[in-house]
Amino acid sequence: MKVAVVGATGMVGEVMLKVLAERNFPITELIPVASERSVGKTITYKENDYTVVGLETAVSMKPDIALFSAGGDTSLEWAPKFAEAGTTVVDNSSAWRMDPTKKLVVPEINANVLTKEDKIIANPNCSTIQLVMALNPLHKKYNMKRVVVSTYQSVSGTGVKAVRQLENEIAGIEGEMAYPYPIGRNALPHCDVFLENGYTKEEMKLAREPQKIMDDRSFSVSATAVRIPTAGGHSESVNVEFENDFDLAEVRQLLSDTPGVVVQDDLANNSYPMPIYAHDKDDVFVGRIRRDESQPNTLNMWIVADNLRKGAATNTIQIAEYLVENNLV
Ligand SMILES: NC(=O)c1ccc[n+]([C@@H]2O[C@H](COP(=O)([O-])OP(=O)(O)OC[C@H]3O[C@@H](n4cnc5c(N)ncnc54)[C@H](OP(=O)(O)O)[C@@H]3O)[C@@H](O)[C@H]2O)c1
């Protein structure tokens, strides 16, 4: 496969290159792409050096697959140009996720919806991916009615600028701000932009994307998204009300049996999911599994994943692997 990585110099792009190498994705030609600022720079993949090219050049090289992580505006403008050239685009931005003509895919849940005709495929929001990985098996068994999720999201979810802001604050250096306030020793109830309904765009992604991925509108999601000063790894406190009652041991078993999900829930040994533990891992970790004693058929749990891996790069590459394995590119 001739593979373009659009946004190769960014946080997600770098992890994308690492994951492609780790999983030995069948690449015959790698095309690293970034903004004009980075054209001519060198990136290393599997110990070989590659020169970063611009978008125009990359389209003219007609890659089989383009893995996009270069922001929504770049995707809106350039994904259709790649698609027109015959390239299949897997996009990490929010540009196409809720477009009814585009598929929104977490391979463990709905890869089967993909066809050869899908030329632009959307990768869900990082917080959504880890949420649905845990919800899907439970919904199938107990039928969810309502989910209330509060996130504790790392600065790497915002990109390189935000990671630099945190590092500068720790080092006592005054620098460019990615957020309207300091993030060190702080918690910002403000991920992405505010919308007219008082929610942030991130919160509405969490509310809408699960229904599309799970192809089910019978449940609803209410979200509060908070940015905290962790470098990498998103955490979520999740409260789920089901139609049917559940058995806690069975819930743990269902989650343990789900590929890509690891139950980490041994209170006697202080074992529960944490960002420092999930770092650089592809799995979604679930712990603190307990009954909500305030109302019937309701469960509380704590979900953590590496937002740059399963939340972005790994999920994108799993989609690309599915396309290759099923001759869809
Ligand atoms: N961080 C996460 O956890 C996460 C998770 C899921 C999805 N995403 C999405 O992935 C995308 C990238 O996020 P990130 O965190 O990797 O951001 P980032 O670290 O800021 O990197 C952005 C990348 O996009 C490139 N880029 C920016 N403007 C461009 C343009 N006009 N033309 C071509 N390339 C351009 C940059 O190139 P230069 O280096 O040349 O500027 C860089 O390679 C965003 O859409 C984000 O929403 C991020």
Tell whether residue 311 is among the known ligand binding residues. no
Q: Is-catalytic flag, 191?
A: no
Residue 165's pLDDT is 98
d(CA 90, CA 219): 27
State the pTM of this model: 0.97
Domains identified in the chain and CATH numbers: 2-123+312-326 (3.40.50.720), 127-305 (3.30.360.10)
d(CA 261, CA 284): 5
Q: What is the Å distance from ligand 1's center to 12 Cα?
A: 7
Residue 84's pLDDT is 98
pLDDT 10s digits, 197-243: 999 999 999 999 999 999 999 999 999 999 999 999 999 999 999 99
pLDDT 10s digits, 80-89: 999 999 999 9
Residue 115's pLDDT is 98
Number of H helices, E strands in the chain: 10, 14
Q: How do strand 220-227 and strand 144-153 relate by DSSP bridges?
A: parallel
Q: Is 225 in the pocket of ligand 1 (CB under 6 A)?
A: no
pLDDT 10s digits, 33-52: 999 999 999 999 999 999 99
Residue 28's pLDDT is 97
Report how far Cα 233 is from the mean position of its chain's Cα atoms. 11
Residue type, 57: T
d(CA 92, CA 124): 7
Q: Is 35 in the pocket of ligand 1 (CB under 6 A)?
A: yes
